[in-house]
Amino acid sequence: MLRQILGNVVANPMVYDAVQKMAGRDETYRRLKPLLARAKGELLLEAGAGTGEITSILDPSTRYLWLDNDVQKLAGFKKKNKGHLSVLADGTRIPLAVRSVHSVLTVAVTHHLLDHELDLFLAELARVCRHQLVFLDGLEDRSSVVSNLMWRYDRGSHPRTEEHLLSKIRQHFELDMIQRYKIFHQYLLCTGKPR
């Protein structure tokens, strides 16, 4: 019941953005910015884009395409992002052509997906991507009391181990960089090219 109440509160775009900032968004963006610079002048798809806050760190020449399945997040995105494209869709069935985007970005999405959805999601990202995947999500860490408490109340309740995520990602992408860092959760950040 508490999880549902918190989920409804955090669904508000302004609350969502504030929670992301408190959860360490600035450190995450510091790490993502140089990786996203590779999409300069190109089309970048963010799958599971939330309110599209990532646009604040993109090079102005990057063409950004927002994709999420949450109508409230779309409203929040459109309110503060004029001129960017958006698609309201499920990431397991992306309505774009094969190799239609230069880069794909996914941040804190896969812990919302069941295993069969994770496979579909990664396959879809690989299908639409020409050059680069940038992937980031929190990891399961049973030794961290804080992380486990946060996962307990997160709307996405499927954190996975690093080994599990990497094995799934490698089925669709050839990885060229893997980093780990910790804020409240342990995070996996990696880049790769579609197979």
Greatest Cα pair distance, the chain, in angstroms, is 45
How many alpha carbons fall within 13 Å on the CB side of residue 187?
A: 22
Percent of the chain, pLDDT > 70?
A: 80
d(CA 195, CA 192): 9
Q: What is the pLDDT of residue 83?
A: 86
Q: What CATH number is attached to the domain comprising 96?
A: 3.40.50.150
Q: What is the pLDDT of residue 164?
A: 97
Task: Kindly report, residue by residue over 147-193, the tens digit of the pLDDT.
Answer: 545 555 565 678 999 999 999 999 999 999 999 999 888 999 999 99
* Residue range of the domain that includes 38: 2-194
Is pLDDT at 72 greater than 80 in this prediction?
yes
Q: Quote the number of domains for the chain.
A: 1
d(CA 32, CA 14): 22
Per DSSP, helices labelled H in 54-144 are 71-80, 115-128
